[in-house]
């Protein structure tokens, strides 16, 4: 149990376009989902926390107008990178939790390359 | 502010030997959770082991054990009988105290790359 999927697993896009990444909890209801960004050989950096039905809470330094997060249901959260630029190229990982002291279950990640 | 520190960027270990990956943390909260994750080259984050701040005994999960020294604020991961498949990046993480029923954030250390030699 506690499986989280991400789609797509990788995406290549042109500079200036928008890209949407989906994060789904397949066998449980996730009241909270997290979005992380990871550069090569570096640690995971939390971008934002989203709770179902409410606005996402962004970490300091993360542009909320550039990284749009929607958590419309208990099994789906989306991250949209708007007007992507090469510096947005990174590995994006989501995690999901049932809330409280429940652990975070991670998705397999999405590798974004912006040309 | 909470902080996690992993001071070993890279480690080598001979196959079948044990290895310890260091992790120190800093927090003023009396209640917290400590996690270790493995990230192979595929990128997926694999949960290995968890230690609660009030747990009396050190956590163990198969070949993984957590050497929890609360007074020293350290939570080192010990992998016994290393296997070639253990080669990966390992992250120590601390969970903030959950607020309002929401899951607390995870704060990750810098990571340690472990290479197991045949």
Residue B101 pLDDT class (50, 70, 90 cuts): low
pLDDT digits (tens, 9 = 90+) for B54-93: 998 999 999 999 999 999 999 999 999 999 999 999 999 9
A99 → closest Cβ in B43, B103, B106: B103
Residue A84 pLDDT class (50, 70, 90 cuts): very high
CB contact under 8 A, A32 and B103: yes
- Partners of residue B2 on adjacent β-strands: none
pLDDT digits (tens, 9 = 90+) for A23-55: 999 999 998 999 999 999 899 999 999 988 888
Which residues lie closer than 8 Å to B19 by C-beta, 6 or more apart? B11, B13, B78, B79, B82, B114
A residues 69-98 near B, CB within 8 Å?
A: 91, 93, 95, 97-98
Residue A99 pLDDT > 80? no
Give the three-class secondary structure for B85: helix
pLDDT digits (tens, 9 = 90+) for A5-14: 999 999 999 9
The CA distance from A36 to B16, in Å, is 34
Question: Nearest CA to CA, how far is A107 from chain B (Å)?
Answer: 7
Three-class SS string for A34-94?
Answer: EEEEECCCCCEEEEEEEECCCCCEECCCCCCCCEEEEEEECCEEEEEECCCCHHHCEEEEE
Residue A1 pLDDT > 90? no
Mean pLDDT (whole number) for B6-30: 96
B2 alpha-carbon distance from chain centroid: 16
Residue B103 pLDDT class (50, 70, 90 cuts): low
A109 → closest Cβ in B43, B102, B105: B43
Residue B96 pLDDT class (50, 70, 90 cuts): confident
Give the three-class secondary structure for A87: helix
Residue B97 pLDDT > 80? no
Residue A65 pLDDT > 90? yes
- Determine the pLDDT at residue A82: 97
- Using alpha carbons only, how large is chain A's radius of gyration in Å? 13
- Determine the pLDDT at residue A51: 86
Q: Can the peptide bond before residue A70 be classed as cis, meaning omega within 30 degrees of 0?
A: no
Q: Which of B33, B7, B11 shows the shortest CA–CA distance to B89? A: B11
């Amino acid at each position: 149990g506690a499986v989280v999927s991400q789609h797509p697993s990788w995406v290549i896009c042109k500079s200036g376009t928008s890209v949407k990444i989906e994060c789904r909890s397949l066998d449980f209801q996730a009241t909270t989902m997290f979005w992380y960004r990871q550069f090569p050989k570096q640690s995971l950096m939390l971008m934002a926390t989203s709770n179902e039905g409410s606005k996402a809470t962004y970490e300091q330094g993360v542009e909320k107008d550039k990284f749009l997060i929607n958590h419309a249901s208990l099994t789906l959260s989306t991250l949209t990178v708007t007007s992507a630029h090469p510096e947005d190229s990174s590995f994006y990982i989501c995690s999901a939790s049932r809330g409280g002291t429940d652990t975070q279950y991670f998705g397999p990640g999405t590798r974004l390359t912006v040309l | 502010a909470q902080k996690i520190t992993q001071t070993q960027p890279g480690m080598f270990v001979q196959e079948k030997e044990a290895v310890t990956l260091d992790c120190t943390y800093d927090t003023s909260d009396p209640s917290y959770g400590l996690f270790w994750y493995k990230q192979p080259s595929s990128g997926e984050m694999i949960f290995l082991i968890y230690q609660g701040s009030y747990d009396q005994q050190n956590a163990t999960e198969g070949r993984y054990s957590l050497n929890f020294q609360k007074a020293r604020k350290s939570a080192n991961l010990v992998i016994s009988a290393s296997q070639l498949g253990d080669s990966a990046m390992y992250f120590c993480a601390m969970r903030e105290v959950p607020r309002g029923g929401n899951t607390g954030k995870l704060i990750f250390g810098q990571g340690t790359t472990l290479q197991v030699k045949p």
